[in-house]
Amino acid sequence: MTGIEFNERDFEYDVYTLVKAFYPREELRIFYEGEAEKEAEKKLCQTLLQVLYQEGKASLFIYQAGQCSVSDAIALDCVDRKTAKNRLKQMVYRNLAKLTGRELPWGDLTGIRPTKIAMGLIESGMSNAEAADFMRKNYYTSNEKTALAITIANRERALLAPVDYENGYSLYIGIPFCPSICLYCSFSSYPLERWKDRVDEYLDALFMELDFISETMKNRRLDTIYIGGGTPTTLTPEQTERLLTHIERRFPLEQVKEFTIEAGRPDSITREKLETVHRYPVTRISVNPQTMNQRTLDLIGRKHSVEDIREAFALARATGFDNINMDLIVGLPGETKDDVSCTLKEVEKLAPDSLTVHSLAVKRAARLNMFKEQYQEMTFENNQEIMDMVQECARNMGMGPYYLYRQKNMTGNLENVGYARVDKAGIYNILIMEERQTIIAAGAGASTKLVFDRGRRIERVENVKDVTHYITRIDEMIERKRMGIATYLQEGEFR
């Protein structure tokens, strides 16, 4: 067990996530000075970090087996909170890197949007070389990750250049049902089998929310629409038709630059559904295998075969979709480098237009976390070599990286990267990750993100996750939105 002791409640989360990145598999506990009842527990820590704030400085002591092996300090007086946080993280990083003999690919960056930093530096007038130098010196990012962040920031800037994102908005619509629940899932998702009799009621509530959004946002331009979930293609062809007709009636689709539907699970895709979707101006769909290894598909609870993935993809192409994304996850339980290589070969044969590669992140609410004892023997392998293989595969398919984000508890402490062919990148993905545009979200568990003052302030309006609550409390969901959006529109007028 590793512990961190603070004498004040300040920057604990930042230090915690950084220490966790160095010791991903260890239990990590936080203590506060003066907690006499936790003294015994503290003594059980093989490594104990002590962060002490006093007289305008922060000191760091690291004890191993009771012996102090590190002692360091930095000045924090006369600096703003952001600078104080950065200095503290630098000190912790430098000392842990020395102590463990390990550097982390993303250095001391623990937030989820490293490209936002790169983009900010470039927009402040720095050249690519200056921005890279700044990142390496201030955040200790590796050469490879710095180059990746700068490349993506430039690509994002080019992709967003024709979009007047500050004056428009994007719409997210959540369909929270899935054919079965995956082992690692932490989204708002409910098994269709149990909920199928209530899907129409859900759509009725959703339409009320969409009507409110279309009326309230009618003077703003709608740039992108994303229907996600869950798995939107769990809807029957009739329900899909109902949903798309409703959207078409209420929103000005002729001005929308991108309209994505996640066709996610191959076991939810049929010819009829794809044909229904294709009759509407949907520009991009996603068929998500996650892995092309049957053993893993079975283990993670996806009740379909590898052949189903191939068939669903071929069907989507035959229906006429010319922008198909595929999602993969690396670091799945029991998967080795060879398994990932096998998946990549299969994906290359299918030749999607974009590829989104996630590093497995085990969140608290996932079954994989809740029943972790069951999976103790399994390896969760992800490393730079595997990420390089993925990059190589994307390059072979003519794709370049265009968006990137990180999550907490990712295997290998790496990143999620979206690759796309020219003109096939998902603009919505960039807008949401870089927090450049307001995203109004409808549906159970959907989270509206209101972007104020060019991204300097973000406010969220959350819907309840539970489907029954969403249906029965739809008026309340709309009221919450009404209040949030009113402030947003009002501030916009005085910009």
Chain contacts with ligand SF4 (rule: CB under 6 A): 178, 181-182, 185, 187, 189, 229-231, 264-265
* Minimum distance of ligand SF4 from residue 329's CB (angstroms): 9
Residue whose CB is less far from ligand SF4, 110 or 429:
429
* Minimum distance of ligand SF4 from residue 50's CB (angstroms): 40
- The torsion of the CA quartet 222, 272, 189, 309, rounded to 10 degrees, works out to -110
* Minimum distance of ligand SF4 from residue 228's CB (angstroms): 8
Q: Residue 141: beta bridge partners? A: none
Would you call 3 helix, strand, or coil by DSSP? strand
Token readout for 165 is 């994102």
Helix 306-319 vs helix 271-278: crossing angle, to nearest 10: 30
For tokens 């008026």, what's the residue? 475
Residue whose CB is less far from ligand SF4, 189 or 276:
189
Work out whether strand 258-262 and strand 177-178 pair parallel, antiparallel, or are unpaired.
unpaired
* Minimum distance of ligand SF4 from residue 256's CB (angstroms): 24
Residue whose CB is less far from ligand SF4, 89 or 265:
265
Residue whose CB is less far from ligand SF4, 182 or 282:
182
Q: What is the DSSP letter of 360?
A: P
Residue whose CB is less far from ligand SF4, 171 or 183:
183
Cα separation, 481 vs 450, in Å, equals: 10
* Minimum distance of ligand SF4 from residue 188's CB (angstroms): 8
Q: What is the DSSP letter of 464?
A: P
Rg (CA), the chain: 24
* Minimum distance of ligand SF4 from residue 240's CB (angstroms): 17
Token readout for 204 is 């009725």
Neighbours of 107 (CB within 10 A): 24
Q: What is the DSSP string of 263-325?
A: ---GGG--HHHHHHHHTTT--EEE---B-S-HHHHHHTT--S-HHHHHHHHHHHHHHT---EE
Cα separation, 415 vs 394, in Å, equals: 15
Residue whose CB is less far from ligand SF4, 172 or 212:
172
* Minimum distance of ligand SF4 from residue 181's CB (angstroms): 4
* Minimum distance of ligand SF4 from residue 444's CB (angstroms): 12
- The answer to whether residues 283 and 428 touch, using CB atoms and an 8 Å cutoff, is no
